[in-house]
Amino acid sequence: MTIATLGILTSGGDCAGLNAVIRAATDAAVGRGWRVLGLRNGHLGLLANPPDILPLTADAVRGDLLRAGGTILGTTTKGDPFAFPDADGTKRDRSAEVLAAIRALGLDAIVVIGGDGSMRLFDRLLTPAGIPWVGVPKTIDNDVPGTEFAVGFFTAVEVVGQALDRLASTAASHRRIMVTEVMGRDSGYLALFGGIAGGADAILMPEFAYDLDAVAAHVRRVTHDRPSPVLVVVAEGIKRPAEERRLKGSVGTAITEGLQSRTGFDARCTVLGHVQRGGSPVMFDRLLGSAFGARAVHVLAAGESSRMVAWRGGLVTDIPMTEVTTGPSFVRADSQLMRTARRLGTYVGGAVTTS
């Protein structure tokens, strides 16, 4: 496989560290004498006429790009090319147009920076077409199978931890329960890591069933049944309490109201939302992005394709895409940090949920 022109794109939700990957992949590719084209707005840029591209050079990625949040290429979570929504509400397959644009641009290989959904999409799109590609995992949810950590995760953990630091002081001042809702639709990694780092008294995750009466009893126990500062972290993907399912508002608000009614303690909810995605990446995300971007180019130069770079056991490696396209990964009940949380006396729920 001879590569003269490399395409790079970001796909799915944004996070910190994406630009570090773009910088590293560009530098590594230019160092091999390859031309590099940034593909704007994920696959949507390839559906534009003409395709929306940004030529990338070593000079273009110098300076503060490593430190910058977001992605200079733009990204998208919409417009599945296999079922692309038209203005009239119908859907049609535009995947052939994406492939035609790739060939028209003369791209010999592509680096896809995305989450587990993006890996499945581009594996379905590129692998059957014989277009060489390598995936780079990124997500604040840290739920991409096959890698211990994904780009953007530790910056989001830092945001959650710092939020808990700030909420702890106001909780202490007013002797309140402070509930913090974090992202995590299917997986609770962000809630677990951020909750432990921020000293949470209870952490509720999608993977594990919880009993709000048991959470309230835990709160009363750790506070000796008198108003005291309490920190509770809630992943957005947990099930709402049964009695709260008809109420509007976030799941964090539902947990807050349920705890207040059960304990008699004043309670407040903070939904962190998109602040978890933005901002300058922490050092580990810069390191991870740099290592992943360089490795992706190395894999392609070695003639490999349909693989994803990964962090395993403190080493950067790469794995076949068949190990990645199995759906999101989940927090395991017997994982090291789950054991850590229990040893700390943190409420983390009970049996693993199956639905």
Phi first, then psi, for residue 169 (nearest 5°) are -70, -40
CA 243 from chain center: how many Å? 31
Predicted local distance difference test score (pLDDT) of residue 246: 61
Structural contact between residues 148 and 311, judged by C-beta atoms closer than 8 angstroms: yes
Structural contact between residues 258 and 241, judged by C-beta atoms closer than 8 angstroms: yes
What are the sequence ranges of the domains in the chain? 5-152+281-323, 155-276+333-343
Predicted local distance difference test score (pLDDT) of residue 220: 94
Q: What is each CA distance from 20 to 15, 27, 34, 193, 235, in whole angstroms?
A: 11, 11, 19, 23, 27
> Which CATH number is 155-276+333-343's, of 1.10.3720.10, 3.40.50.1980, 3.40.50.460, 3.20.20.370?
3.40.50.460
Name the token pair of 203: 């952490």
Q: What is each CA distance from 60 to 75, 181, 296, in whole angstroms?
A: 19, 38, 19
Dist CA 229 CA 219 (whole Å): 10
Predicted local distance difference test score (pLDDT) of residue 225: 86
Dist CA 61 CA 328 (whole Å): 31
Burial class (CB in 10 A: 0-12, 13-18, 19+), 310: buried
* Sign of the CA dihedral with 59 first, then 63, 67, and 68 last: negative
Dist CA 139 CA 141 (whole Å): 5
Please check whether the domain covering 5-152+281-323 is classified as CATH 3.40.50.450.
Answer: yes
Predicted local distance difference test score (pLDDT) of residue 350: 78
Supply the residues annotated as catalytic.
141
pLDDT in tens, the chain (355 residues): 799 999 999 999 999 999 999 999 999 999 999 999 999 999 999 999 999 999 999 999 998 999 999 999 999 999 999 999 998 989 999 999 999 999 999 999 999 999 999 999 999 999 999 999 999 999 999 999 999 999 999 999 999 999 999 999 999 999 999 999 999 999 999 999 999 999 999 999 999 999 999 999 999 999 998 888 999 999 999 998 877 666 678 999 999 999 999 999 999 999 999 999 999 999 999 999 999 999 999 999 999 999 999 999 999 999 999 999 998 999 999 999 999 999 999 999 975 443 3
Dist CA 200 CA 194 (whole Å): 8
User: In the 8-state DSSP scheme, what is residue 266?
Assistant: -
- Looking at 181-282, list the stretches that DSSP marks H as alpha helix, in order from N- to C-terminal side: 189-197, 212-222, 251-263
